[in-house]
Structure 1
Amino acid sequence: MKHEGYPFFHPHRVRYSEIDMQGIVYNSRYLDYFDAAITEYMRHCGFNYVTDARNSGKDFHLVKASIEFLKPVPYDEDVEIGVRIGRLGRSSLCWELGLFQKHSEELSTTGEIIWVYTNIEDHQSVPIPEDRRKQLTEPPAQ
């Protein structure tokens, strides 16, 4: 699988502090990579996560995170994390992520992150506003 289907990519170079004794990316670091890529995607879309939460009283809660490890990623490797929205429900948002090694463009790791939009005060799910849906599903060209 190549880069098809991902409208946005976030570059990263694997640092020494991110690897384990095997010389490959330590498993929990992939969630850090995915979080950074989602944050940059949202910034690219003009969505300021902190400002929106403060102004609206609504926030996204993480309800699921899964990772599939397909190929090890070594130290000092240049990678790109592809981001796309897989499903957009009434109050839920499913991020689909793919980590590619730049030298080969091979898919090394996939991830799925599911968020639910909630009221900050009572943590009950609420519908994602239409303007927010449009902002996140129609990103400008990268």
Structure 2
Amino acid sequence: MTDIQQQAAWTVRIPFHDVDMHGHVHNSVYFPYCETAITEYLRQQGLSEVFSPTAHDYAYHVHKVEFTFHRPSFFEQQLYFHVQPAKLSRTTIEFRVSVYATEEPTPRVQARIVWVCVQNRQIRVQAIAPAVREALIPLLES
């Protein structure tokens, strides 16, 4: 197993329904892939509970998404998603996701996804909970 495979938060083998008429993964499919990779990363870090909207009076909504596409991916190809919490502000968390194919040292796709913390009932932006902040600080990229 390569380093890319070992360090992946999530992997997927591209199903046919995610391929567009040009024969490669449709760009829009990468967003749910990256959201799943972030969720899996948080689960692997033992953070599912601190991010659970049903357990707290806050939730995280997507605020901003940015993708850079370097090379296409194709049906049946195995992709590896690496997740890194990158920035933490008073109200937002930025994740960086890099998508690799087997045995490739450079990513095919890179994403920046920013979540904003909101109060559940009023959907009003609020400060990130101390428990979440404390859990993420050690994971931030250097």
CA shift at 1:86, angstroms?
1.2
- 2: CA distance between counterparts of 1:30 and 1:59? 22
Equivalent residue for 2:106? 106
C-alpha RMSD of the superposition: 2.2
Q: Supply the distance in 2 between the matched residues of 1:19 and 1:49 (Cα, whole angstroms).
A: 34
TM-score normalised to structure 2 length: 0.85
Q: How many residues align?
A: 135
User: Displacement, 1:51?
Assistant: 7.4
In the other structure, the counterpart of 1:71 is 71
Q: C-alpha deviations, 1:27-73, integer Å up to 9, x for none? A: 11000110110010111122226973122110001111111111011
For 2:61, give the aligned amino acid.
Answer: H
Q: Partner amino acid for 1:94?
A: E
Contact 1:61 1:115 in 2 (8 A): yes
Amino acid at match of 2:17: S
Q: Distance in 1 between matches of 2:38 and 2:73?
A: 20
Query: 5 Å matches for 1:108-127?
Result: 108-127=108-127
Structure 1 residue runs of 5 or longer lacking an equivalent are none
- Counterpart in the other structure of 1:16: 16
Contact 1:8–1:84 (Cα < 8 Å) also in 2: no
Q: Counterpart amino acid of 1:37?
A: A
- Cα distance between partner residues in 1 of 2:127 and 2:8: 25
Deviates more, 1:37-46 or 1:126-135: 126-135
Which blocks of at least 5 consecutive residues in structure 2 are unaligned?
none
Answering whether residue 29 of structure 2 is matched by residue 29 of structure 1, we say yes
Aligned partners of 1:78 and 1:103 also within 8 Å: no
Asked if structure 1 preserves the Cα contact closer than 8 Å seen for 2:50 and 2:131, the reply is: no
Distance 2:27 2:50 in 1: 27
